[in-house]
Amino acid sequence: MKRPLFAALALSLAVSAHAQSQDAKPSGDLAAALEPFSLEGKWRGCAIGKTDQPCPPATDPRWHDVIVPGNYQSQHADWKKHNGFFWYRKSFTLPAALPAGAEPCLVMGGVDDWDTTWLNGVKIGHTGPDNFFTSSSAYNTPRCYLIPPGLLKAGENEITLLDDDPINDGGIGFGPVQLIFADPAKAARRHITWELGKNAIDPASIQGKVELVDGGVKLDGSNSFAIPASALGAQNDYTIEFEVKRDPNDDGLLLMSNASVADKVGLGLDYTSYGAGFILANDGRIEQGKLLPEVSCFYKLSFVVKDKQLQFFRDGLLLLATDAVNPSPLPLVFGQIKTKPGKPYAIRNLKICDSAIFPTGYDQSAERMRAFAGLNYFILRAEVKDLKLPRILVIGDSISMGYRGFITEHFKGKAYVDYWVGGTWFGSEALKDGDKAAAKIAWRGVFSNGPYDVISWNSMTLHMWSPKQAWRCPEESIVPNFSNMVEFLKAEAPKTQFIWVRCTPVRAIQADGTQKLDGPDNERMVKYNGIVDTVMKKEGIPEVDLYAIAEKQSLASFKGSQDNVHWGPEVSKLFADAIIKEIETQLAMKGK
């Protein structure tokens, strides 16, 4: 697939290109210069089929040369129609030992779709459906895998990478592909104001039993400790970083916080029992699904605040950027006291700096959307530089995450496009509290980030209408709830044109692994789409029919997949084109 030009807007790591020829062989005194070390050019590749298998030995005849970056299907006849698992390997010679503080990272511009990566036989990174849940698409999200100290050595090294490519083009498709390094001199100038194991914990701040063992502590809901607010300095620029490992049967825990919802100040991290992490910022809660996906390893989490704006990283990958975090007078508390303690979380290498220390390779100048959060919502908002340009808000579930980037790219320089994954839940009692209903509170918060000229909207219908959870949205609740909500939206934002986006199909998985558009799940989508159509027609809300687009597509590529609701980038582009057409119609009617 071609890389969309909107990738720069993704919440992802941005690195500068380091051009090399296909067979480039870096040279020079690496230890002194610490220039990016290119890995682009000739690698070896091996297609192994639909199931995960160990890396074949180098003598296996299935290995062939492959040029990186680039999709592999076009490079060998054996790979032309391959989808599934594909191994890469690359041997390279590092010309010199690294100095202390170099902090090497392996950077790849994107891998289509998922990858697990090793250096010298040690796993250094993984991006997959078990741990990737951000606002961008995985295939064009740059990887930056931190390399443990001592693993990258002078002389011969080898990278192996297993690519999981279920559909369409695959491989290490996007550059740069290189090793990058921190500046040791810059690292030495960091001003660490508090460090676990070097600074004493104030006994008065400890609740329960907090023991320092091997430089770390364990928090389980029976204990906590606090670091004074002064460690963060003036709270314009600061960094909080630590490594955390969870128990396989963990319960939720407030890992860290100096936030006050009532006062709308501070930040924090609240980890849930179902695997998501909520980033606390002032009075908002921003969900990051699958934040700590594996139980066998530590993850490095970094909260970097620059000019009061938060950037949140996991192992060097930017997961979230927010608006201003208001300074908090409260101490920074790690852990919480719960009525029933749970399984422990291990915390180590906790450091606080009174300056903003970004991970190696992070480009502060790259254009990014920022998260704005409030009660019951958070949105991703583009930076508005030209007040004369229209503003568009795209609302939906994970289907919208596939098409919204195409909308952004189309309107680049012509309009600003914001995202909201949500649109509020329309359950049977969703609006029982009238104007105080959670859905209406959320929408008011979203409107405060406007004004918007056009809003394309789907209210999580794939989730709300599923027969597996029929209690969420009984048929008899649809007309009164949607009628009530549309009237509310028109009253709250009378100058905004709303566009309803019809729900996409649910495919039924057959015994032979193929998928079809039949079965009770999809029948319910068809029926409920029809009911909502009557409401939108009555209220004068135009619609975009994504269902009709989806049902015309071939389902052959989905054979063997357990995903029966999402669509590939080609179909997402068709979705986007239809929505773009209706948005442009509405903007033209507004004279914009």
Q: What mean pLDDT is predicted for residues 320-327?
A: 90
Q: DSSP class of residue 128?
A: S
- Please give the sequence-ordered ranges of beta strands (E in DSSP) within 50-170, or none if there are none: 64-68, 84-94, 105-112, 114-119, 122-127, 143-146, 155-165
Provide the pLDDT for residue 186: 61
Question: pLDDT tens across 394-425, in order?
Answer: 999 889 988 998 999 999 999 999 999 877 66
Q: What mean pLDDT is predicted for residues 245-273?
A: 90
Q: What mean pLDDT is predicted for residues 183-205?
A: 83
Q: What mean pLDDT is predicted for residues 428-453?
A: 87
Residue of 583, 159, 267 lying closest to 395 (CA atoms): 583
Phi/psi of residue 420, nearest 5 degrees: -140, 110
Q: What mean pLDDT is predicted for residues 501-508?
A: 96
310, 258 Cβ separation under 8 angstroms: no
Global pTM value: 0.69
Q: Cα(354)–Cα(363) distance, rounded to whole angstroms?
A: 20
Q: Which residue is it, tokens 């609701």? A: 565
The percent helix, strand, coil of the chain (3-state, each to 5) is: 20, 35, 45
Q: Cα(496)–Cα(29) distance, rounded to whole angstroms?
A: 59
Residues forming a β-bridge with 383: none
pLDDT value at 18 more than 70 = no
Dihedral-angle region of residue 317 (phi above 0 means left; psi in -120 to 50 means alpha; beta otherwise):
beta
Provide the pLDDT for residue 292: 85
Phi/psi of residue 139, nearest 5 degrees: -65, -25
Tokens of 108: 């790849």
| pLDDT interval class at 390 (50, 70, 90) | very high
Q: Cα(571)–Cα(402) distance, rounded to whole angstroms?
A: 9
Question: Where is average pLDDT lowest: 133-137, 331-335, 441-445, 469-473?
Answer: 133-137
Q: Which fold has domain 375-589?
A: Rossmann fold (3.40.50)
pLDDT value at 28 more than 70 = no
**More confidently predicted of 456 and 191:** 456
Q: Cα(398)–Cα(135) distance, rounded to whole angstroms?
A: 9
**More confidently predicted of 459 and 332:** 332
Q: Cα(542)–Cα(456) distance, rounded to whole angstroms?
A: 10
Provide the pLDDT for residue 364: 80
Provide the pLDDT for residue 589: 93
Average predicted confidence (pLDDT) for the chain: 86
Question: pLDDT tens across 112-149, in order?
Answer: 888 999 999 999 988 877 666 544 466 667 788 889 88
Q: Which fold has domain 5-182?
A: Jelly Rolls (2.60.120)
Q: What mean pLDDT is predicted for residues 371-392?
A: 89
215, 196 Cβ separation under 8 angstroms: yes
Element holding 319 (H helix, E strand): strand 317-324
Query: Is there a shared CATH topology between the 190-353 domain and the 375-589 domain?
Result: no
pLDDT value at 21 more than 50 = no
* Dihedral sign from CA coordinates of 321, 325, 331, 336: negative
β-pair type (454-457, 497-501): parallel
Tokens of 510: 């057959």
Provide the pLDDT for residue 269: 96
Residue of 37, 44, 35 lying closest to 20 (CA atoms): 37
* Residue 479, number of CB atoms within 10 A of its CB: 14
Question: Where is average pLDDT lowest: 149-163, 358-372, 386-400, 462-476?
Answer: 358-372
Q: Cα(295)–Cα(3) distance, rounded to whole angstroms?
A: 33
Provide the pLDDT for residue 135: 41
pLDDT value at 479 more than 80 = yes
Rg over alpha carbons for the chain, rounded to the nearest Å, is 25
β-pair type (238-246, 253-257): unpaired
Q: DSSP class of residue 196?
A: B
Question: pLDDT tens across 548-581, in order?
Answer: 999 999 998 888 888 899 998 889 999 999 999 9
Percent over 90 (pLDDT), the chain: 58
Helices (H) and strands (E) in the chain, counts: 9, 32
Element holding 192 (H helix, E strand): strand 192-195
Provide the pLDDT for residue 175: 86
Residues forming a β-bridge with 346: 218, 245
User: 3-class DSSP state for residue 504?
Assistant: coil
CA 317 to chain centre: 9
CATH architecture entry for 190-353: Sandwich (2.60)
Evaluate the omega torsion of the peptide bond into residue 327 and state whether it is cis, within 30 degrees of 0: no
What are the boundaries of each domain within the chain? Answer: 5-182, 190-353, 375-589
391, 33 Cβ separation under 8 angstroms: no
Residues in the chain: 592
Residue of 220, 224, 226, 218 lying closest to 243 (CA atoms): 218
Provide the pLDDT for residue 9: 26
498, 455 Cβ separation under 8 angstroms: yes
Q: Cα(105)–Cα(323) distance, rounded to whole angstroms?
A: 28
